[in-house]
């Protein structure tokens, strides 16, 4: 099975498969005499695992650990759970942060007439926090949670 087929049936692009191999997330694929990468069902299975973990927002480092636990028959489910809970906490932090931004902006947008005149509370707020009645803007910007941008 060539990389294209493996990509199609795993949902991971060929580019990404090569990248994952290069960074050591997955072991080097077998090769044909001419240098083409060759994949077996087990490899595709692993790629699908990675894809699903990405869909759940895990970083590649986390996924490396998850793969290790997956392969380890003597693993403890507590270790997996801990990883998951830590990731959930990161997601929740990020959600709160974005929620703060969105709600602040919504308050400002509601106060903005949105007409042909220049005066705008959104710009006033950005200009300076001279509006004591409005909620604070969020301060931290990124805590490492992967989005899908």
Partner DNA sequence: CTTGACCTTCCCACGGCTGGAAGGACTATC
Partner DNA sequence: GATAGTCCTTCCAGCCGTGGGAAGGTCAAG
Interacting residue ranges for DNA, rule: CB under 7 A: 2-5, 13-16, 18-19, 29, 32-37, 54, 59-61, 141, 146, 148-149
Examine residue 4 and tell whether it contacts its own copies (CB under 8 A). no
CA distance 11 to 56: 14
Helix (H) or strand (E) holding 38: strand 37-38
Examine residue 66 and tell whether it contacts its own copies (CB under 8 A). yes
Both tokens of 48, joined, read 């699908």
Examine residue 76 and tell whether it contacts its own copies (CB under 8 A). yes
Given candidates 56, 60, 65, 134, which one binds its own copies under the rule CB under 8 A? 56
Q: Which long-range contacts (CB under 8 A, 24 or more apart) does 16-20 make?
A: 17/47, 20/47, 20/50, 20/60
Q: Which does 76 bind (CB under 5 to 8 A by kind): DNA, its own copies, none?
A: its own copies
């Amino acid at each position: 099975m060539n990389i294209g087929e493996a990509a199609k049936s795993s949902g991971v692009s060929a580019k990404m498969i090569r990248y994952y191999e290069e960074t050591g997330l997955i072991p080097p694929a077998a090769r044909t005499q001419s240098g083409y990468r060759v994949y077996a069902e087990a490899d595709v299975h692993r790629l699908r695992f990675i894809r699903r973990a990405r869909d759940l927002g895990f970083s590649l480092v986390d996924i490396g650990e998850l793969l290790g636990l997956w392969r380890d028959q003597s693993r403890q489910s507590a270790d997996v759970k801990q990883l998951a809970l830590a990731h959930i906490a990161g997601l929740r932090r990020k959600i709160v942060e974005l929620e703060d931004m969105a709600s602040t902006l919504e308050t400002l947008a509601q106060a903005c007439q949105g007409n042909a005149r220049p005066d705008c509370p959104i710009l006033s707020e950005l200009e300076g926090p001279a509006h004591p009645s409005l909620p604070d803007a969020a301060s931290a910007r990124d805590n490492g949670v992967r989005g899908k941008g």
